[in-house]
Amino acid sequence: MLLSVLDDELPVLKQVVCLLEKISDNNAVIDSFNTPSDLLSSFSSKKYDACFLDIDMPTMNGFDLSDLLYTHNSNVRIVFVTGKDDLVFHAFRYHAIGFVRKSNLENELKFAYETLANEIQKESAVISVTELRKNGGREQLIPIHDIQYLESNNHNVLIHTKDEKVVTTRNTLAFFMEQPAFKNFIPINSGTIVNAAIIKIDNDKIILPNETVLYISRRKMQSVHEAYAKARRRLLI
């Protein structure tokens, strides 16, 4: 596992790195950075599994930095580490998989690392689908975490992936929703289900990492927001 840690306070930076080395039994490779610009320089050439980011920094806050990191790698996982407890709810608007308070650093860092390890393990799940015969009829293995959303089209399902490919298969949305691997997918209208692990919600809008916007039907508005909250909690277990 390749991790990066960013904090503008050197004593805290060293403490976080030491704790992560201990928690991971030295099974993680950890790069440490003292400024956002240093992390960004390294980020362009390395594929980090996760970034542990301080929020309150003089040149750029951790929230804005996370948006920049997502533009380079939409799959990167973010854990915010901060002394400001009141930012916890704001943090999850930025797809954070964890929020660590410096006042309870060791315990919450351990929980965040375990959450990260569990998520990586979950992402090994794949689904096998067969394309329509007119599209080649090939069997494809698609990692669940690569799927952004699925939509029904006549008697077919269109599977939209993070690399903006679309795989069309003869099936129903109900079939996919019955599969355990799709437990964190949410129906937002009668013809679309979305991956709760990668979306943002803004009132009636679903915003995907590539800025594609999908709309929640009025009838499903409350159920979508409730299901999203439950799915996010599951993803943090």
Domain 126-235 has CATH 3.30.70.1290: no
Domains of the chain: which residue ranges?
A: 2-122, 126-235
Identify the CATH number of the domain defined by range 2-122.
3.40.50.2300
Q: Which residues pair with 67 in a beta bridge?
A: none
The whole-angstrom separation of Cα 50 and Cα 77 is 4
Lowest-pLDDT range of 78-92, 145-159, 186-200: 78-92
Q: Is the pLDDT of residue 54 over 90?
A: yes
State mean pLDDT over 202-206.
Answer: 92
CB 192 within 8 A of CB 160: no
Chain segment 217-228, per-residue pLDDT in tens: 999 999 999 988
Q: Which phi and psi angles does 163 have, rounded to 5°?
A: -85, 15
State mean pLDDT over 9-33.
Answer: 93
